[in-house]
Amino acid sequence: MAKFSRIAIANRGEVAVRIIKACEELGIETVLLHSEADINTRAYRMATKTICIGPAPTAESYLNIKANVDGALAGGAQAIHPGFGFLSENADFAEAVTKAGLTFIGPSAESIRSLGDKVHCKELAKKAGLPLVPGYQGENQDVAHLILEAEKIGFPVIVKAAAGGGGRGMKLIKSSAEAKELIESAQREAQSAFGSPKVFLEKYLDRAKHIEFQVFGDSTGNVIHFFDRECSVQRRHQKIIEEATSPSLSDDLRRRMGEAACAIATLGKYKGAGTVEFLLQDNEFYLLEVNTRLQVEHPVTEEVLGVDLVKMQILTAQGEFVHDPKQVRVPRGHSIECRIYAENPFMGGVPSTGLLGHVEWPEGPGRRYEYGFDAGDTITPYYDPMIAKVIVWDETRSRAIQKMIRVLQDSVVFGVHTNIPYLIEILSHKEFVMGTMTTRFIETYFAEALKEPELTSLDKKIAEGALLQLRGGGMQNQGASNSPWASYWRGI
């Protein structure tokens, strides 16, 4: 296969920037396929060429298969990288890209259909003898039948969208009395988000840890794993903090889970980067799902193993990357990633949009930043509120935690609220420090909004100075209060 000279990016934000950087490393030009709302962004300024594929609503731009394929062809690209989210796990998109004569940088449409559909994936896992959470994955989607199946499993039960992910279409059912309403709600949300109302049921494990393995299928179809990540710190089933490797696995458990991850990926004829997710409780693990794409938290794996997963994805799509059996990869040190969201932690995490007046990520050894916005860019209400990822590496987990807290304290995001104070509280909690947190960690300890700290005289002087500096700069901040402090946040 010929080498790519230009790759189209069907995505936005920090992952688009990440892909552009990998392409630059390989001497490949890029075409950013963007919406009308994403003109003033970092990826827009960095890409070799930009093509607008539609207005802000995702259904009319980032989720529009034809617009993305047509944009890539018009931009002269030979391949499309889908990033994560949007169309990254859409088999129809992968198929349309291939039919248009382009290369889809990711697994085949067949693999996405085989592993990306949660129900089909579990059927495949059964054949491989992998442990599954007790549940119901049948075709009968009648609500009354689903309630009977939930009662057989025993409450609490979790209902999930078969074609879903990221917490969408997922509901926790604690009793028969609320089952009908929650199942119907999950079916409606699944239809709206993924185009299919199909759901399945699983026993809810209330003391589980979320452990995942990074798998990678090379150009020849040989699958290996790049060890594990722990993502137990979740809010509403969405990850907030991730780390590599997990502090919860013994060497034997890590070996067995890694073998299971490779087994299911091999059955799905997997090529490229993917993730096999497990729940771990009482030293027993259960297959949760397979994500057939690059993962948001891939940098922590890159940090402990010294690999470039995006570069490997591109080389694999070109038919060039093959695992070297003589190269033994062993994780070194510990890495943690925090997702920075534009939201107000003192108001329960309500989104915060507006103009970024100033942004400062403090440089230093073992620090890495993935971000899609610079000072002067606008955080809009149209997309996911994640504006950046902060990643640290250090020799031990405890040092990595301390480094992350220092980095967050020194980071400055001026113009919108962020969850930085929330992240510092979580990192400082004794359960996180001990590594004993479960997926109920946030629900148990951080269900309430943070209490806003009182301002010192120095804080007020800083705020007054900042306001004087910004006055006349056209700063906007939707939903902001009248407090001068509410217009920005310094993570201290």
Residues marked active site are found at 293
Say which amino acid occupies 324. Answer: D
Burial class (CB in 10 A: 0-12, 13-18, 19+), 366: middle
Burial class (CB in 10 A: 0-12, 13-18, 19+), 364: exposed
**HSE (side-chain half, CA atoms, 13 Å) at 164:** 25
Strand order in the sheet with 358-360: 358-360, 412-414, 489-490
Q: Provide φ and ψ at 468, rounded to 5°.
A: -65, -40
Contact 346, 448 (CB under 8 A): no
One-character DSSP codes across 210-271: EEEEEEEE-TTS-EEEEEEEEEEEEETTEEEEEEES-TT--HHHHHHHHHHHHHHHHHTT--
Q: Provide φ and ψ at 94, rounded to 5°.
A: -60, -40
Name the residue with tokens 């100075």. Answer: 465
Within 10 angstroms of residue 55's Cβ, the number of other Cβ atoms is 13
Name the residue with tokens 């403090």. Answer: 362
User: If DSSP codes are grouped into helix, strand and coil, which group holds residue 467?
Assistant: helix
What is the chain's length?
A: 492
Of 3, 2, 98, 14, which Cα lies nearest the Cα of 385? 14
- Cα separation, 136 vs 203, in Å, equals 9
Q: How large is the C-alpha radius of gyration of the chain?
A: 22
Name the residue with tokens 């962004």. Answer: 41
Structure letter (DSSP) for residue 13: H
- Cα separation, 175 vs 183, in Å, equals 12
User: If DSSP codes are grouped into helix, strand and coil, which group holds residue 378?
Assistant: strand
Contact 29, 9 (CB under 8 A): no
Of 209, 15, 217, which Cα lies nearest the Cα of 115? 217
- Cα separation, 321 vs 467, in Å, equals 53
Contact 274, 265 (CB under 8 A): yes
